Structure 1
C-alpha cells in the first residue's frame, strides 16, 4: 500500500547514501612517510654520532689505561733500582703483575700470584696482551740495567667492562630511538598536516553539480596555506568555466529546440497525409534529435535542477508512448497496473534505454521491455539481442559521453539521473543468454481505498492522469 506521506510528499531531490570520507591507508599516508623519513634520518644521525662518541670515548679510555700501565711500569722500575723494594710490596699498587727476567730469559722474581713462573723460562715473550688468571692483561717492559728486564701486566677487566657498557648503551639507543622518533614524528605530522587533512575531508564532500565551494585556509601562512589557496583559485576558475559551458550548451539547445519542434510537427503531418515511409523515417529522426536536445538540456542544467511532476497513470499509457517512440519494441509482463511517476521523465529514461537497445540489436534484432511489479518495487527490464556491453567499460557506461553503441553517450547518464530522481536505481550488464540488459527499478506503489481521502486532503495532491 502507498503511504499517504509517500504519495503526497515524496521528495524530488536526489536520494543518495551519505558520502563517507575516504581514508588513506597508513602505509600510503603522507604523515606516515614523513614520520618514517624523520625516523630514518634520526636513526642515521644517532648511529653516526653514537659511533663517533663511543669511538672517541673508548680511544680515550684506552689511552688512559696505557698511560696508567706505563706509569706503573716506570714507578716499579724506579722503585726497584733506587729503593730495592720487593716486588710484592711495590708502589705500583694491588692488581699489578710483575716479573724480573734475566739476560738468559729466566724469571728471577715474580709477584706472589705468578710464583709458578719463578725460576722458570719466561713464557710471555713478545706478547702485548696475555691471559692471567682467566682475565686479559696488557703488558709493558722496562730495562733494569744489569739486573735484566722488568715485566709489568695490568688487567683489562675495567676497560672491557667500559667497552661493553658503551656498546650496550649505543645498541639501546639505536633500538629505542627509532620507536620514539616514529611516534613523535607521527604526532608532529598529525599536528602539522591537520589543516590539510581537514581540507581533504571537505573536498571529498564537494558536490560538483552544485556551486563549487572553496576550502578553508589555515591561520598559518605556510606551505599548506599556499597549497589550499592555489586549490581555491583553481576551483573558482573551474566553476567559472563550468558556468560558461552550461550557458553555451543551454543556448545551443534552445536555438535547436524550436526548429526541431516545427520540423517534427511538419513531418508527422506529412507522414499521416502521404504514408511515405521515407517521410515517416525522417519524422523518427526528428524524434531522435528532439530527445538528444532534451538530454543536452538536462546536462546543461545539472541533475539536481531536475523537477519531478508526480502523476498516477496507467502503465498502459506509458506503454503506448514508448511503442510510438521506439517502433518494434516487444512488451512483456503485466501492464495493467498503475504507476506513480513523472510520465515525461520516465518516458525519456525508458526511451533512451530502448533506443540504445534498438541500435545495438539492429533492424533484424529484438528488443523487449518487461514490466514486473511487487508491493515494494516496480521493475522495467530492457533486453536486446545485440552483442552486449563492452566488458572494459563497466560502470563507466553511465558516464556522460561514454557510449558502447555509437550514440551520443548521454542517454544512459540521463536515464540513471531520472531513476535516482524517482528514488530508484538503474543498473546494466549482459544477459545470461546474450545481449545487453538494463534494469530500472522504482519504489512500488499501490493506492488503497482507505488512503484516497488522505491524498485528496493533502497540500500537494498527486495528479491522476
Structure 2
C-alpha cells in the first residue's frame, strides 16, 4: 500500500497540521504579547528619561539624585526659534543648527535607530530626548527568528512522532488487515483473532467476524439452493434430450434439430451452475490419457460448424469431461458471436511442455471495457449466462494451465486455453 494511502500517515499528517495550527496561534499570541510588553517598557523608559530631564530644566532643584542619561544619551535643547542651543556629546554636530528631526518620533542617527519624544523645558525652550532602539530591534528579530524556526521544525517532529504513535496504536488493525488479505473466499472463511484490549479495534474486528460468519452461512445456503436447482433440472433435461434426439432421427425436422441444440445448451448451463456451486476445491479431476481425435469428435457433435486446425494426432492427459466442457464453452461463445454465417476455428498446438487450444471467431471481438472482468461469473459481453468463460478458466487452472482472451488484430475474439503436456516416456 502506498504511504500516502496509509491510515497512519493520514492520522500523523492530520495530527501534525492541527498541532501546527495550535502552536502557530499560541506562539503568535505569545510573541505578540512579548513584543508589545517590550515596546511598552521601552516607551516607559523613554518617557521617564524625558520627564526627568524636562523637570530638571523647569525646576533645577527637583532633579537632584536622578540620572537622566550618560555619555551615550541622545538629548538636544531647542530654543523658540528652532535652533539647537545644546546637545549631548553624541549629537554635538547639530549644535547651532536648525532642528534636524522636527516632529519625527523615529529617526536614524548613524546606523542606530532612535525613538524620540519632546518635552517643554520652561524658559529654555523644547527638550528633545531620544533612546536607541537597537536592543529592542534585536530582541524583536530574535523572537521572530525563533518563531520561524519553531514553525519549520515542529511539523517535521510532530509528523515523525505522530507516525510512530499511529504505528503502535494501529498495530492490531494492521495485523487484522494482513490476515483479512489472506482469507481465500473459495475456502471456509476463518474469523480474525481479537486483540486483548477491548478498544475500537476490538469492536471493529468483532463486527468483521460476525460479518464473515453471516457471509459463510449465506454462501452455504446459496450453494445448497443452487445444487438443488441443478439437480431438479438434470433429470427432465436428460429425458428431453433423449426424446429430441429420437425425434430428430425419425423426422429430420430442422425445428426438432434446433430444439435439441437448445436442450444441449441448457444441459451445459446446468453443468456450469453445478461447477459454480461445488467450487474448485470440491471438484476432483478424473485423469485419463485420451487421443486428441476423441476430443475432436466430441466437440464436433456438441458445436457443429467448427473448423479444426493444427495437429490432432497426439494424446492428451486430462479429465475428458471437464476439458470437453471448457473447450465447448469457448466454442459455443464463439459460435454465438460469429452468427450462423460466421466462422469458428479451433487450433491445437503441442510443445514439449504445453498443449494449446486456440479458439477464434469472426465476430465483433470482445468489449474493450470489460477486460479481465469477462472471466468473472455472470459477466457477459454476448448475451449469454456469463458462466462459460469463468468455468473454462477454472477447469484450465485445475489442469495446471490457464485461459486468456482478447480481440485478434485482424478482428474477432481469440481465446487461448493451455494445459500441461503429457510428457510421457516409453515406460509411462
The reply to whether TM is greater than 0.5 is yes
Going from structure 1 to structure 2, the CA distance change for 1:94 and 1:355 (only over 3 Å counts) comes to: same
**Please, which moves more after superposition, 341-350 or 362-371?**
362-371
Q: Which residue of 2 aligns with 1:19?
A: none
Instruction: Indicate whether 1:264 and 2:222 are aligned.
Output: no
Q: Which residue of 1 aligns with 2:81?
A: 104
Cα deviation for residue 91 of structure 1 reads 4.7
Q: Which residue of 2 aligns with 1:289?
A: 266
**TM-score, normalised via structure 1 length:** 0.86
Q: How does 1:281-320 map to 2 (within 5 A)?
A: 281-320=258-297
Q: Which residue of 1 aligns with 2:94?
A: 117
Instruction: Indicate whether 1:157 and 2:157 are aligned.
Output: no
Q: Structure 2: how far apart are the matches of 1:341 and 1:68?
A: 103
Q: Structure 1: how far apart are the matches of 2:310 and 2:227?
A: 39
Q: Structure 1: how far apart are the matches of 2:185 and 2:112?
A: 80
Instruction: Indicate whether 1:82 and 2:49 are aligned.
Output: no
Q: How does 1:216-231 map to 2 (within 5 A)?
A: 216-231=193-208
**Do the aligned residues in 2 keep the contact of 1:396 with 1:402 (CA within 8 Å)?**
yes
Q: Which residue of 1 aligns with 2:352?
A: 375
Going from structure 1 to structure 2, the CA distance change for 1:150 and 1:336 (only over 3 Å counts) comes to: same
Cα deviation for residue 33 of structure 1 reads 2.1
**Do the aligned residues in 1 keep the contact of 2:13 with 2:162 (CA within 8 Å)?**
yes
Could you tell me which of 110, 131, 152 is aligned with 1:133?
110
Could you tell me which of 132, 135, 144 is aligned with 1:167?
144
Instruction: Indicate whether 1:49 and 2:18 are aligned.
Output: no
How many residue pairs end up in the alignment? 426
Q: Structure 2: how far apart are the matches of 1:107 and 1:406?
A: 106
Q: Aligned with 1:305: secondary structure?
A: coil
Alpha-carbon RMSD across the aligned residues, in angstroms, is 2.2
**Please, which moves more after superposition, 300-309 or 156-165?**
300-309
Q: Structure 1: how far apart are the matches of 2:111 and 2:340?
A: 104
Q: Which residue of 2 aligns with 1:420?
A: 397
Instruction: Indicate whether 1:349 and 2:326 are aligned.
Output: yes
Q: Structure 2: how far apart are the matches of 1:59 and 1:417?
A: 78
Could you tell me which of 377, 388, 403 is aligned with 1:400?
377
Q: Structure 2: how far apart are the matches of 1:225 and 1:84?
A: 81
**TM-score, normalised via structure 2 length:** 0.93
Q: Which residue of 1 aligns with 2:419?
A: 442
Q: Structure 1: how far apart are the matches of 2:162 and 2:67?
A: 60
Could you tell me which of 184, 192, 196 is aligned with 2:161?
184
Q: Aligned with 1:383: secondary structure?
A: strand
Q: Aligned with 1:404: secondary structure?
A: coil
Could you tell me which of 289, 306, 322 is aligned with 2:299?
322
Going from structure 1 to structure 2, the CA distance change for 1:145 and 1:291 (only over 3 Å counts) comes to: same
Q: Which residue of 1 aligns with 2:218?
A: 241
Q: Which residue of 2 aligns with 1:14?
A: none
Q: Structure 2: how far apart are the matches of 1:434 and 1:123?
A: 95
**Do the aligned residues in 2 keep the contact of 1:95 with 1:154 (CA within 8 Å)?**
no
Q: Structure 2: how far apart are the matches of 1:314 and 1:391?
A: 37
Q: Deviations over 1:165-186 (max 9, x none)?
A: 0010011111111111122222
**Please, which moves more after superposition, 89-98 or 342-351?**
89-98
Q: Deviations over 1:40-82 (max 9, x none)?
A: 2122112211111111101111111111122222333445543
| Unaligned segments of structure 1, at least 5 residues | 1-22, 453-465
Cα deviation for residue 272 of structure 1 reads 3.7
Of structures 1 and 2, the one scoring higher in RCO (CA 8 A, sep 6+) is: 1
